[in-house]
Structure 1
Amino acid sequence: MTDARYTYRPCTDSWKYNLLRWAKDSFSFFCWTDGNDYPYPEGAFSVRLLAGNKQLKDDDIWRPSTYLRAGIISYDFKNQIEKLRSQNTAHFALPDLCFFEAELVLTFEENLIKSTLPVPDWVWQESKPAKHNNSVLFQPQIDEESYLRRFMEIQEEIVEGNTYELNFCQAFLGEFEEFDPIRAYQDLNSTSPMPFSALFKNKQQWLISASPERFLKKSGSQLIAQPIKGTAKRSPDLTTDQANRDQLAKSEKEQAENLMITDLMRNDLSKVSKTGSVQVSELFGIYAFPKVFQMISTVKSELLPEVGFQEIIRATFPMGSMTGAPKIKTMEIIEEKESFKRGWFSGALGVIEPNGDFDFSVIIRSIICDLGQKKLYFGVGSAITIDANADAEYEECLLKAEAIFKTLRGEINSSD
């Protein structure tokens, strides 16, 4: 199919909103990704829009295809990999796997916008900014007292040797009469532009993501995992900001947490990689984001011949940074101590290329909503170790959720 070509236009919020609104009205599924020009190690998401009406059956997701495909793997897909279960309450039902085949592929290349389908002229016209979302009423699914009590219970599990590190998460639940996921995405991205920002539509269900974390990337025969463990607050004061960065870089506690997950990812990659090829190319890298500094390590390996997408996912999913170590036992404890079904939260979102390469983010710092149910939720968590402080970890959770709080409260102006 010959690409429709459009002369380059600056990426204004106005026509991006128009483009996404057109895609919403024209297709049952779409995936917009944007790396926000972030200089992320091994690259961020490219800016592109994939859309289509053909949802893939579960078996077809794993087979090679000549089409671009995009989709979500729910955290609860773990139950199809290991003998695990998810019996906590779901705010609303979500599919474990949701992938579609792209018939519209719109990309940005230098001075051209290329599209596999014609785009209406009105999309490119400047228009008045869309109105803000009505403020969404949301509340924590557990109170601070319950969080602190369960925190102590998890540390008891560590003392007993059942886990070494556990990513404990809580959910915030919201309800609304009207909600515009496209505007919510633009608001969230304006205040928290991330290397793995994305907006995903599954009919009435939406993912609005400002993720800083890569789950797994395949480029040729190379696999790349980049776990995040270690967080420090940003400050508008340059001296304080640098001090916070230095403190994170030197923190033995944060390094210990990061190292445990890095070792877990090394082990996961080794299951599908050539012997001796798993290497840590960067350990304890410190990267700046709008609200926080993060400690990121990069693990690479050479894939064994004839290993397919399904085998790779079954060996590595879910991301160790969202479980803890050892992975299987820790996920059992997570199910016992958390009070919500994670669903898409802490799962993965990504795009699979026709040649089999792929890139998936970790679904964190993200809003998940169902327009039919008029409900939404978002999760936030942190790693609990024997040295962790309950009050500090609770505050870290609130810090990570700050941009989502502002988005849902309608506190972000179009000029932000």
Structure 2
Amino acid sequence: MKTTSKYPASPSKREFNDLCSNERPLIPPLYCELPFKSPAAVFEAVKGRAAVLLESIKGPDKIARYSFITFNPFLEMIVKDQLVEVVKDERRSVSSVRPLTRLREILNAYPQRKAPHLPPFQGGAIGLLSYDFVHYIERLPKTVIDLLNIPDAHFYIVDQLFAFDHKEHRAYAIVCPGARSIELGYTSLSDAPLLKDDLKTLYDEAEERLHRMVALYSGCSSEMACTIPDKKKRIVIEHEMKQSQYMEMVRRAKEYIHAGDIFQANLSQRLSAHIGNTPVWQLYRILRSINPSPFSFFADFGDYQLVSSSPERLIKLSDRIAQTRPIAGTRPRGISREFDERMRADLLLNEKERAEHIMLIDLERNDLGKVCDYGTVEVDELMITEDYSHVIHIVSNVQGSLTEGRDAMSLIRAVFPGGTITGVPKVRCMEIIDELEPVARGPYTGSFGYVSFSGDMDLNIIIRTMVIKNSVSYVQAGAGIVADSDPEREYFESLRKAEALLSTLERI
């Protein structure tokens, strides 16, 4: 069955054959353009285990342009306790290989020709790097209790998705022809010559799947209601740390700062709430209305789910240009333009905020410098303010050209986890976090996003995020501690950063 003439598949079969023959072994995606709809409304039709929504709801066009929906992955990669498990159907492969090496092998097995006019993710890996994934990158102590027992990394490998361009108001169904032939051994399609019959089979199978996606999309609503329920306050929020304990943690961090060990550290606390049989998707629907953000996402991994309204990018790689976008410095938004202007001025004139931000810019420049060509790392946006739904942030953008022989995995090793949520210097701060925080962070301050078959990547920082497991929602938030930090103020600052999440829980 072919896609309807109303939404024809591109490229045509002849164009597909020519592209594959002329650019062997690269294989272009098959796609069709569709009427633009709300990504969240479309996700209503596919949500369930292994479904993921990356949604740019609100923010500057530069970072909030694209959204993606993936479902029905053909491989799953789970990393925990130094073991890498890859699952296809009912078959499993377990090894102790380095996880980024294994992920590179899987993605390199499919030689994708990126379509430059489509949104940047056209198939590949989508998923999670927990904060604790740092133990695969750096030699660090690991002494705290892991209460959540979430994988250190968890990726779906996908070859079909819906992609949305909010700036151009366009939507696409995309399929990667032949990707599902990648087996657990990662036999590369580029190892075998593709004959005309092979190309015909690849095209016909992809077109059939594209047709089913079009039918699914056509049955979806165009918009999703964004009404925010009133607060019911039936949920009991449990603080896993007393105020006095957090304040003591801040005092101990300040001792390290005064001793010259570190300049700044991010210290967090965890809260939790039993949500009973409340559908997890309902939490996301409320949160996206309360706190629309550029790096929001919903992910269902079966025995746990993630609900996020993150405002911050960790790293983007596009056509070998790497960008990181640190956020440091926050003020609340008000009900008037004049109030917001005062807050922006207060942010930019505050010496503490500026000094902290400059330290983090230097850290990010150093991280990119590990894998980028000498002389290419630059700060192309310095300490601008960006308005979000509830707050104003100071933001900078640092970019560089990736060195020949380096790739997305090299970049992850260089920048993960983000300096804005660890501190400066990063490694010593992570040692102190392990010493002072009572439990393992799990997904909090890790990263979520995609790494494409073509080599592009976009990962956020997991903040403003709930982890739901066994009918309990876990919320974590922190504050940046510097030499003159007031422990009580930092305690309430960490709670303020959890306000949107706690407000969501109060409305179920």
What secondary structure is seen at the aligned counterpart in 1 of 2:47? helix
Q: Which amino acid aligns with 2:281?
A: I
Q: Which amino acid aligns with 1:68?
A: G
> Which residue of 1 is the match for residue 38 of structure 2?
11
> Which residue of 1 is the match for residue 125 of structure 2?
69
- The Cα of 1:320 is off from its aligned counterpart by 0.6
C-alpha distance in structure 1 between counterparts of 2:44 and 2:277, whole Å: 16
**Structure 1 residues 184-205: Cα deviation after superposition (integer angstroms, max 9, x where no partner):** 1111011111011111121221
1:148 aligns with 2:247: yes
Q: Which runs of 5+ in 2 are unaligned?
A: 4-8, 10-29, 78-85, 87-98, 113-122, 175-209
1:60 aligns with 2:102: yes
> Which residue of 1 is the match for residue 206 of structure 2?
none
- The Cα of 1:9 is off from its aligned counterpart by 5.4
**Structure 1 residues 348-395: Cα deviation after superposition (integer angstroms, max 9, x where no partner):** 01112221011110000011112xx22221110111000222233222
1:114 aligns with 2:173: yes
Q: 1:291 to 1:277 in 2, by over 3 A?
A: same
- The alignment yields a C-alpha RMSD, in angstroms, of 2.6
Q: 1:37 to 1:169 in 2, by over 3 A?
A: closer
Return 268-277 or 402-411, whichever deviates more. Answer: 402-411
C-alpha distance in structure 2 between counterparts of 1:186 and 1:71, whole Å: 20
> Which residue of 2 is the match for residue 240 of structure 1?
339
Q: Which amino acid aligns with 2:373?
A: K
C-alpha distance in structure 2 between counterparts of 1:130 and 1:238, whole Å: 24
What secondary structure is seen at the aligned counterpart in 2 of 1:47? strand
C-alpha distance in structure 2 between counterparts of 1:320 and 1:91, whole Å: 24
How do 1:14-413 and structure 2 match up within 5 A?
16=41, 19-25=42-48, 28-40=49-61, 42-44=62-64, 46-53=66-73, 54-56=75-77, 57=86, 58=99, 59-63=101-105, 64=108, 65=110, 66=112, 67-108=123-164, 110=169, 112-114=171-173, 116=210, 117-118=212-213, 119-120=215-216, 122-124=219-221, 135-370=234-469, 373-410=470-507
C-alpha distance in structure 2 between counterparts of 1:248 and 1:76, whole Å: 32
C-alpha distance in structure 1 between counterparts of 2:124 and 2:367, whole Å: 26
C-alpha distance in structure 1 between counterparts of 2:482 and 2:387, whole Å: 24
> Which residue of 1 is the match for residue 194 of structure 2?
none
What secondary structure is seen at the aligned counterpart in 1 of 2:66? coil
Q: 1:87 to 1:275 in 2, by over 3 A?
A: same
C-alpha distance in structure 1 between counterparts of 2:252 and 2:338, whole Å: 38
Return 319-328 or 119-128, whichever deviates more. Answer: 119-128
- The Cα of 1:111 is off from its aligned counterpart by 5.3
Higher Rg of the two aligned structures: 2
Q: Which amino acid aligns with 2:104?
A: W
Contact 2:38-2:222 at 8 Å conserved across structures: no
What secondary structure is seen at the aligned counterpart in 2 of 1:204? coil
C-alpha distance in structure 2 between counterparts of 1:145 and 1:113, whole Å: 52
Identity rate, percent? 27
Return 276-285 or 132-141, whichever deviates more. Answer: 132-141
- The Cα of 1:342 is off from its aligned counterpart by 0.6
What secondary structure is seen at the aligned counterpart in 2 of 1:29? coil
C-alpha distance in structure 2 between counterparts of 1:29 and 1:392, whole Å: 40
C-alpha distance in structure 2 between counterparts of 1:244 and 1:129, whole Å: 28
C-alpha distance in structure 2 between counterparts of 1:169 and 1:320, whole Å: 14
**Structure 1 residues 43-70: Cα deviation after superposition (integer angstroms, max 9, x where no partner):** 2251220123420334432232444220
C-alpha distance in structure 2 between counterparts of 1:204 and 1:254, whole Å: 40
Q: Which amino acid aligns with 1:51?
A: F
C-alpha distance in structure 2 between counterparts of 1:112 and 1:365, whole Å: 27
Q: How many residues align?
A: 402
- The Cα of 1:88 is off from its aligned counterpart by 2.1
- The Cα of 1:177 is off from its aligned counterpart by 1.7
> Which residue of 2 is the match for residue 414 of structure 1?
none
Contact 2:371-2:414 at 8 Å conserved across structures: yes
